[in-house]
Structure 1
Amino acid sequence: MKTSLLALALALSSVSAADFKPLLAQPDQIVLQDDFSKSGPFNKQHWGARQGTQWSVEDGVLRGRPSTPEFQAKKKDHFGYEPRISAPVTPAQFIAQFSVRFSGGSETAIVPFLEFGHHVCRLRLTKDGAELLVDGESLKVAESKELKYEPEKWYHVLAEMKGDEFVIQFTDGPTLHAKHAGFSKPPEKGGNGLGIAGPKDGMVEIDNITLWSIKPEEQPGWAAKRGMLPKSEPVQISKQKAKKKAD
């Protein structure tokens, strides 16, 4: 028994592309699937460019750049210094698989990040590690010193939200898990679904995305798998700090 639990723990600690599968939720219907093989404007029925940032399908990826200097000069906030985009077609409870790469520009106290519901569940990447933030970025519920912000690196991601639980896997990287009441609440109007923000004055590339709705049943064996995942004590972030991050 101890041997099998150890094997499971090792398998969850570093997921390879070959066994990159949902842990928590069972996929139901595909709501979006794209490999961005056809260059041109992005599909505005699937995606929403945020803060005036510039996006198009180029070289087999969805590529984003900051807003223009002219746009920035007209704004008092939300300048679009970093490329931002969301996929409002994302179901409230979902499985999302995609690849993302950041390049150029610089890390800030806010970006780059992956977000699942605007200000609901945000994974912020830094050169020192990653932190999973919830409740308007006021509570840190998980972190990883292994998962770091590395420009030019492709991150291959599988994220799941079901009930009050969220789990995110990275190919050849860590798996993070959290429970929070906000995950099970109906999204607010304009909740934006999956969201991605790149480095300041930098670029984002997205590829091979699939979004699924999910079935009512969880994956068989999820309780055992959850027990093997790293556990973190929630850490409250000061309101002032959270306010500065809330962008």
Structure 2
Amino acid sequence: MKTSLLAFALSLSGAVAADLKPLMAQPDQVVLQDDFSKAGPLEKTRWEPRQGTQWVIADGMLLGKPSTAEFRANRKNHFGYEPRISSPATPTQCIAQFSVRFSGGSETAIAPFIELGHHICRLHLTKNGVEMLADHESVKVAEAREFKFEPGKWYHVLAELKGEEVVVQFADGPTLYAKNAVFAKPVESGGHGLGIAGPKDGTVEIDNVTLWSVKAEEQATWAAKRDTLVKLEPVPVVKAKGKAKAE
């Protein structure tokens, strides 16, 4: 069943349907809607595999695997150990609704993650909770330590980016909010728009994606709702010496 454009209801594979609605932004135009019901090659204007990783539409989902050994043999970086993909169709200011499942492999210092704009706003899912990182993962701007990453679990997400603010809701989970000047800056590197990376040597399944542009006006109830959300004083991220630059 297709996603309703008005009610924002999801028909979700492998899970009970969620009903997430935007808190901050008002949806304007649908720029991408994909339930992956038709198998076939990816359109690069809609989905762009990253770092040589392997993606295919099959079984009603977008399925991702790491790069091949042959691809890695001649690389000096960006080896594609984690399946990665982004949607260049994502508006600069947007609402993104989707379902994602990460399976197999192993958690790393940077993955699995969901991001809005490459290195702009990244949600890192870990066994110790989920954290929102900004500006090339140099600062932590939000977290929910009680929301532990579970491999093989479907995550149903509604993310909003408008100006300097980001709100991310997880069905049956937390709502993360942050305000940071970098959120309003244009992306200067590859991986524009909504981006997803799986565990190292693991797989990713993505389903029921809808991307909207947003209106200039916020939701009428946003100011009051914002006051109720947990806010974190930004915390600089200290990276271990000798660690490779986050990708």
With the length of structure 2 as denominator, give the TM-score of the two structures: 0.90
Aligned residue for 1:213?
213
Once the two structures are superposed, the pairs formed by residues 23-172 of structure 1 within 5 Å of their partners are 23-172=23-172
- Structure 2's unaligned 5+ residue stretches are 1-15
- In 2, Cα distance between the equivalents of 1:49 and 1:242? 28
Cα gap change, 1:245 to 1:176, in 2 (>3 Å): farther
Measured at CA, do residues 84 and 92 of structure 1 come closer, stay the same or move farther in structure 2, by a change above 3 Å? same
Letter in 2 for 1:87: S
SS at match of 2:202: strand
**Equivalent position of 1:194 in the other structure:** 194
AA of the residue aligned to 1:69? A
DSSP-derived class of the 2:167 partner = strand
Stretch deviating more after TM superposition (97-106 or 177-186):
177-186
- CA positional deviation for 1:239: 5.7
Secondary structure at the residue paired with 1:71?
Answer: helix
Amino acid paired to 1:22 = P
What is the aligned-residue RMSD (CA, Å)?
A: 1.7
| Whole-angstrom CA distance in 2 between matches of 1:95 and 1:244 | 32
- Aligned residue for 2:223, secondary structure, equals helix
SS of equivalent to 1:106: coil
Distance 1:69 1:190 in 2: 23
Quick check: 1:146–1:173 contact (8 Å CA) kept in 2?
no
What is the distance in 2 between the residues matched to 1:80 and 1:189? 17
Unaligned runs of 5+ in 1: 1-15
- CA drift of 1:146 comes to 2.2
How many Å apart are 1:244 and its aligned residue?
Answer: 3.9
Q: Which amino acid aligns with 2:78?
A: H
The residue number in structure 1 matching 2:12 is: none
Residues 97 and 245 (structure 1), Cα distance of their counterparts in 2 relative to 1, 3 Å cut: farther
Structure 2: how far apart are the matches of 1:18 and 1:67? 32
Instruction: Tell me, yes or no, if the aligned pair for 2:163 and 2:183 is still in contact at 8 Å.
Output: yes
Name the structure 2 match of 1:20. Answer: 20
Q: Deviations along 1:60-85, whole A, 9 cap, x unmatched?
A: 10000000111111111111011000
Distance 1:204 1:191, change over 3 A: closer
The answer to whether the 8 Å contact 1:72/1:80 transfers is yes
* Alpha-carbon separation, structure 2, partners of 1:145 and 1:239: 20
Going from structure 1 to structure 2, the CA distance change for 1:131 and 1:244 (only over 3 Å counts) comes to farther
For 1:110 and 1:207, the matched residues in 2 are separated by 23
Kept in 2: contact 1:137–1:242 (CA 8 A):
no
| Cα shift at 1:185 | 2.0
Alignment partners' CA distance in 1, 2:181 and 2:160 = 15
Aligned-pair distance for 1:231?
A: 1.7
Single out whichever of 87-96 and 143-152 deviates more from structure 2.
143-152
For 2:225, what is the secondary structure of its paired residue? Answer: helix
Bigger fraction of residues in helix: 1
Taking only the aligned residue pairs, the percentage that are identical comes to 69
For each residue in 1:30-76, what CA deviation from the matched residue of structure 2 results, as whole angstroms up to 9, or x when unmatched? 00000000112222220110000000001010000000111111111
Q: 1:19 to 1:205 in 2, by over 3 A?
A: closer
Q: Which residue matches 2:225?
A: 225
Look up the SS of the partner of 1:183 in the other structure: helix
Contact map agreement 1:137 1:245 (CA 8 A) in 2: no
Contact kept? 1:17, 1:171, Cα under 8 Å: no
Does the 8 A contact of 1:93 with 1:214 survive in 2? yes
In structure 1, C-alpha distance between the alignment counterparts of 2:168 and 2:242, rounded to whole Å: 22
Contact 2:101 2:155 in 1 (8 A): yes
